[in-house]
Amino acid sequence: MNRQLSCEINYSDLKLYCMKIPFSIYLRAVGLYALLTLPALFIPVIYIISLFYVLFYGWFAWGLFTVIYLITEKVTSSYPVRMAVLSLAVPVSVVFSFQMLQVLGIEENIWHTGSFLLFPLAAAISGWLGLFTVKEKIEASINERFEHAVDDSGLFD
């Protein structure tokens, strides 16, 4: 199936397509995180625990980011505003996910872990890189939504 949006796509396909974008951002971010944190392999246990946390608790970040993404899908109409909101949503989602480690009792006093705070920073950087690798898809979804709204308005019939 062609990944480019076209005028022939129906609205239910557009919704499904728009749900795939945050998931692909998350998958890219997890892969990039694994690469960015490779220097932690000097202490392999830390690297493995870090990846474990990302794989099991990163879903909180994905969930919050997806909610914010879907809100921007409905509310914002311009590409720069949407990208700015999504760029802010990345660190907010990472912080939320990191805080869930403390809320769920996995770690105590999570924000006083010293150099281990570099791991959420790496996660935010990975999220931003993941976001900007799919910026064309985000822009295409905005254009498709606009075209669909114009088609439904009946103004140009």
What pLDDT, on the 0 to 100 scale, is given for residue 5?
45
Let me know if residue 156 belongs to a domain: no
**Distance between CA atoms of residues 21 and 3, nearest Å:** 11
Q: Rounded to whole angstroms, how far apart are CA atoms 125 and 119?
A: 10
2 belongs to a structural domain: no
Residue 154 lies inside a defined structural domain of this protein: no
Predicted local confidence at residue 33, as pLDDT: 95
pLDDT for residue 81 is more than 70? yes
Domain that holds residue 64: 11-144
Domain count, the chain: 1
pLDDT reported for residue 19: 76
Q: Is residue 18 part of a domain?
A: yes
Copy the structure tokens of residue 118. Answer: 């570099």
Q: How confident is the model at residue 122, as a pLDDT?
A: 94
pLDDT higher than 70, residue 14: no
Asked, for residue 149, whether it belongs to a domain, the answer is no
